[in-house]
Amino acid sequence: MFKLDEDIQRTYFRLAEYQHQRMWMERLRHPENLKWRGEPPKRTETTTRRVEVLASMGFDETFYERMVKGENEAGKELISLVQYHVLWPHMERIKILSGPYLGGAFIAAGGDIRRCPTASAFWYGMGLDILPDGTVPRRKRGLKDVERKVPALPFVTKVGEQIRMQINRTVDSKTRLMYEQNRAMVDAKNLDRAKLFDFKDALRRTQKILYACLWEEWRKGYGLDAPWPYAFAILKHDDGSRITIKDFYDKPAEERSQKRRATGRKGEPVH
């Protein structure tokens, strides 16, 4: 695994754990810090007793403050690391990925890019071979009820869900436009199917194209082979219809990031 990728993954894991611990402590000790539709819930006798028991186990106010401090420090470290990665020049121009936190989460989920020689292998590792009903999208000949042998890691599927949420929320992005085009195509092909399935199908198609483009740039950025997709490499489809990472760009690169990358660190293999 490349050194920078490993550093990003380790930092993201620390950040995610700090955040998890901070949030459940905050719900118990400082619910007023969270956003509520109405007034924060009043502390009950049961909650007070739970807080006292947790404090006797070491989960006291000092622990909570340490989680808050750790989360802030890990967040800053993740931002500084992601901006040196080979994918960041592309991510910062794509609205749904322009936040360093989500960019770092994606890189952490991707792991060792050398273990993904094809886009299909990358999709598999990122949990995109799972359909809404829990089955894999392509059945093997002669087999029934094919199951995924290795379940996707929880943080991998979590990142995928965060990206799908961003596609839905960022309505003025190229990624959202691509989703709408896929949705129109899926609706036209499946007139009798429930709209929820069309919605998930179009999201998954959009996400797979985005992941394939990022996979290609990630591999090329580290000097690794990135073979063309099956449709173009084997079936010889017109490469003029091939989608590239530039088709997802929403904005120009920031000058500050360009200067930082010019003198930044490079990924080095971990032996």
In a domain, 173, yes or no: yes
- Who contacts 130 (Cβ-Cβ below 8 Å, separation ≥6)? 136, 148, 152, 157
pLDDT in tens, 110-123: 999 999 998 888 88
How many Å separate Cα 216 from the centre of its chain? 16
Query: Residues 96, 166: contact at Cβ < 8 Å?
Result: yes
Model confidence at 266, in pLDDT bands (50, 70, 90)?
very low
Which domain range does residue 243 map to? 115-137+145-271
- What pTM was computed for the model? 0.80
Of residues 39 and 157, the one with the higher pLDDT is 39
Q: What is the mean pLDDT of residues 74-92?
A: 94
Task: Please indicate, yes or no, if residue 266 is contained in any of the structural domains.
Answer: yes
SS3 (DSSP) at 2 = strand
What confidence tens digit (pLDDT) does each residue in 49-72 have?
999 999 999 999 999 999 999 999
Distance of alpha carbon 259 from alpha carbon 264, whole angstroms: 8
Report the distance separating Cα 244 and Cα 205, nearest Å: 15
Q: Is the pLDDT of residue 250 over 50?
A: yes
In a domain, 7, yes or no: no
| Per-residue model confidence (pLDDT) at position 239 | 59
Could you tell me which residues come within 8 angstroms of residue 96 by beta carbon, excluding any fewer than 6 positions away? 102, 163, 166, 167, 170, 173, 175, 176
- pLDDT at position 244 is 87
Q: Which of 214-218, 228-232, 234-238 shows the lowest per-residue confidence on average (mean pLDDT)?
A: 234-238
- Tell whether 179 is covered by a domain: yes
pLDDT top residue among 17 and 194 = 17
Residue 106 lies in a domain: no
In a domain, 48, yes or no: no
Residue 9 in any domain: the answer is no
| Tokens read off for 23 | 């949030």
For 139-150, what is each residue's pLDDT tens digit?
555 555 555 555
Look over the chain and give the mean of its residue pLDDT values, rounded to a whole number: 83
| Predicted pLDDT of residue 256 | 43
The reply to whether 166 falls in a domain is yes
Domain total of the chain? 1
